[in-house]
């Protein structure tokens, strides 16, 4: 299975580790009866489909994947809002995910997202874009200038003695960042459901599409069941 998938111009999603398989979900449910199987068959598929259809989601949280993700800051800010799959206990919330990000205080920012084209604002959806604008070259020039201005004043602030953690606030959101994200199957497919849909921003949809492909590689039957029930 391919572990590293390129996204956008410089980004990627890489699978670092994974836990479980399609049978894991069925066995996690069967533990209620003190039973466990060693091979996955049609009866397990029926059980997993029943669990998903009736929203018995806890067995799906036993499937866990660790990703290394490189994406523009504006994509990551949207992503983090959907790092969910949250269970609330009697006293405090627990999350079936972990998220750690590279720090601009230690690692210099050197790469920026360069769009292939510039889209126009949707006429009927304030949160969406559609088509492309006519002034592609002018937009590209303005964008390149904005990046250079941000970099210039970042360096100027550093020379003035300003701390990196404060100077970086002038940097554009198009700068690339990297994170490690470890999440359960439920958290991952929730993200896919919310971000691989027409009103989501194009850039984050590209990441959601790659994630979906990865989940089909890792857990083909379980992911197909989820698609049948929730994505179509």
State how far the Cα of 102 lies from the Cα of 94, in Å rounded to an integer: 23
Please tell me the distance from the alpha carbon of residue 70 to that of residue 11, in angstroms, as a whole number.
Answer: 5
CA distance 139 to 61: 44
- For the question of residue 195 being annotated catalytic, the response is yes
CA distances from 97 to 45, 48, 136 (A): 26, 22, 40
Active-site annotation holder among 49, 77, 105, 195: 195
- CA dist., res. 175 & res. 72, Å (int): 5
- The DSSP annotation for 123-185 comes to SS-TT-EEEE-S-HHHHHHHHHHHHHHHHHHHHHHHHTT--HHHHGGGS-TTBEEEEEEEEEH
Residue 100 φ then ψ, to 5°: -130, 135
Q: What's the half-sphere exposure (Cβ side, CA atoms, 13 Å) at 120?
A: 9
Q: Which residues are catalytic?
A: 195
């Amino acid at each position: 299975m391919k572990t590293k998938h390129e996204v956008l111009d410089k980004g990627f999603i890489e699978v670092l580790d994974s836990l479980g398989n399609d049978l894991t979900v069925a066995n996690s449910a069967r533990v209620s009866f003190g039973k466990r199987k060693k091979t996955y068959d049609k009866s397990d598929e029926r059980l997993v489909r029943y669990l998903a259809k009736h929203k018995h989601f806890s067995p799906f949280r036993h499937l866990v994947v660790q990703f290394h993700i490189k994406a523009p800051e504006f994509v990551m800010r949207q992503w983090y809002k959907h790092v969910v799959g949250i269970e609330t206990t009697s006293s405090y919330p627990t999350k079936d995910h972990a998220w750690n990000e590279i720090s601009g205080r230690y690692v210099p920012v050197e790469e920026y997202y360069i769009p292939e084209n510039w889209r126009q604002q949707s006429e009927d959806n304030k949160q969406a874009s559609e088509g492309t604008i006519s002034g592609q070259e002018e937009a590209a020039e303005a964008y390149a200038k904005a990046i250079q201005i941000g970099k210039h004043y970042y360096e100027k602030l550093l020379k003035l003695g300003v701390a990196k953690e404060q100077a970086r606030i002038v940097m554009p959101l198009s700068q690339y960042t990297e994170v490690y994200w470890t999440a359960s199957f439920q958290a991952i497919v929730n993200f896919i459901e919310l971000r691989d849909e027409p009103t989501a921003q194009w850039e984050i949809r590209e990441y959601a599409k790659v994630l979906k492909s990865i989940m089909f590689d890792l857990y083909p039957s379980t992911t197909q069941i989820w698609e049948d029930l929730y994505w179509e």
